[in-house]
Structure 1
Amino acid sequence: MEQISRFIQQIQTYSKELQTQSIKATVPLQLYYMSTVIVTEKIETLLIKPIFNLPEPELYIQTVCVCKTVATEQELYHELINGYALLISPTNYYFFKAEKATNDTPVDSDIETTLQGPQSALSENITTNLNIIRHRYQSDGFQMERFELGTISKTNSCLIYDSELADPSILAKVKEKLSQIDVKMLQATGQLENILNGKKKSLFPTMILTNRPDRIVLNLSQGKMVILLEGTSFVLIIPSVFYDFMSSMDDLYLPYWVAKGLVALRYIALLLTISLPALYIAVVSFNPEFFRVQLALSIAGSRGAVPYPSYIEVIFMLFMTEALTEASIRLPKVIGGTATTVGGLILGQAAQQAGLVSSIMIIVTSAVAISNFVIPINTMSFAVRAIRYPLIFFASLFGLIGVIGGLFAFACYLANLRSFDQPFLKLFVNEKNQSYK
């Protein structure tokens, strides 16, 4: 105990001597806590005042505090940094929970927006997030298991699922992977996704990142598992199939035929954003007979001043589009949208007038960029942006045959992909209980 006491004096803690007078005898107490992670008013109201005012302070201390045996300095430091106040009596160590909640206010959902659905998202406090989810999901099968991830960060995490709907084999595999995580710092769910994927690096995401409570409870009702982390408002939904990434929560809130029309629009936009640049190269350089004579002559005329091949033109415009998209993310929100919009307009017009690109290419680039933003989940949107370039490569070598072959290889790759043993192109994970039907 003397070694622990010396350690407490070395770290930055606030200490206070308490001399309580009980019915039996005078009891000396020492109180230690870190003021930066503690609500001091809670300690004053629920701990110090009752100790001095009650006739039997020992009984009250045993009621509101947890008596623990601390073996090492590291264990003690871990308890103090996690919001516990240490109360030392002549015989025991007592820990009083008085942590200061940070970032516990839910924010508006500005990533996955909906027209008619809930507008609030999760917060960065795991306790607040659990309360939000539990309020919406009131099934008797709701289960929660806590984990501590990261040897230095010691990030609190929580695995939630419905025991009546979740697949036991998938659940066991998720628990095994969580228990085997060995990293120093874990700060975000995107980092956790990469760790869970392990050596199986996939271009396409197999787990959904979301901060919408309505999407979370919907997936819980479909038998999926959700992982929450302290310090981030995003959760990880396991397993996830391709259909989940193309589904918006508006599909539940809008009229039936309107929702089905929007789903069809997303899949058409997905096909356009993947294949349109490659089709442009194939038609212009290899297969102009694919179009009517009038359109083929119009495209050839617009490219009359362009001095280099079509694939160079496409790569140049796609690179500038990717740069503008990245700039819109990094710039301050106040000027980000305006700067990228004005920059894109000026760049496209100047490039066309200078003869660097054709007017048809500007239309293709705009259609590709707009179609990409139709995809509801950002991680899938990033993957789709990357898949264009292999198709461009095949189109530059083999024309229209290369585009068709590339799309076929792409479909085979998706068919072979798995999300925790679930086929990625499977329509639903749990067919017994679907709200999308």
Structure 2
Amino acid sequence: MFLSRREILKSGSAGFGYLAFAGLANAQAAKEAPLAPKSSHFPGTAKHVIFLCMSGGPSHVDTFDYKPQLIRDHGKPGHYGGTLLSSPWKFRQRGQSGLWISDLFPNVGEHADDLCLIRSMQCDQPAHPSAMTQMHTGTSRFIRPSLGAWTLYGLGTENDSVPGFISLNPIAGNSRNYGSAFLPAIYGGTKVESGGQGNKESVRDITNKSLSRKQQRDQLDLLQMLNREKLERDKVQPQVEGVIEAYELAFRMQDAMPAVMDTSKETATTLAMYDVNSEETASFGLQCLLARRMVESGVRFVEVTLGPWDQHTNLKSDHKARAVACDKPIAALLQDLKQRDMLKDTLVIWGGEFGRSPEAQGSGSDGRNHNNKGYTTWMAGGGVKGGFSYGATDEYGYETVENKCHIHDWHATILHLLGLDHERLTYRYAGRDFRLTDVHGVVAKDILA
């Protein structure tokens, strides 16, 4: 059938209305269900993230950055007035890949062929609070959304009955690390505090024993009615919107979260693998196990924190204690994810806010200062190359000399693995579009599998 140009334009223009309506409907649906799964910018290799945050600055030259020259020149003058301090731990080549990994992490070393070591990290600040904030938010100076919040904002979650972003045992008093800042509050992390070292009671019972299910629903409906009336009256009130969404999520969590947190049905073999019955590893082991269960239940981003690694003195004893607390649990997490076929789309990240100096601290011989100019983090699973080392520091480990990976590049790479373009993942606030990487960031494509 022949159609004139007029008829084509007439029928085609009607479709524009349908497209506009569909766009508005989708926008409204996103507003009403902000945590609903969203399409990524392109196919990502990772669906979930488990971030093992090592608070305090673990020493790269004692863990994952082998420096034989530092061993040979032990005791000689360093670049900044101190004396060079070789690692008290031996490094060995691990796995078929032959990655050099310290005896501090023998169990993690067994998974060397799954690890992608980024040995060329840099951040802008050598002070703990500012460096930790930059690692989480991209900036050390301003209040900005955290990496987990941006991830949840970009992808949504797979289970609306559990939080999409959970922070286990976060650093006290630093809610910026898991906050949403100017993003809607629903994208912020849910804090779950640990019972402490050696304490297996990681989470409080969140169920309400004093009211029946119906009584809770009636009470919540009344409260939500008042909140919505305020929202209607004030028109724009992000805090109220966040409260409404958070209360509904909390109500749903009472059914879902206790099951997620219940490890009683885990096999004795699994519990032993995470070493949850040892005083040294119980707390972090249980948190790693919970991280796996959370990801399994659809949580998008889980952060687990361990510290302090800030050894200006007592490096040998205290770095050893921190490593003992997490070495077996991290190895168990990698093994567990792998045997459940989850590692391929779960990105596991390990790292602290910076590294430590190759020189001894001051006149002492058992401590190291801060070093933000060159240090190591690693990734596993989620589409990164296993058994791979990216970048390098100089012969002593002072600073990056090859394939610099600034924290902005690190963030850009993590988002890329999730299928998110860091330049397109933006949120308009105060008259301009903001993003995690500000105006910086280059994806480290060489680490992509």
Indicate the TM-score class for this superposition, using the shorter chain for normalisation: under 0.3
TM-score by length of 2: 0.20
Higher helix share: 1
TM-score by length of 1: 0.21
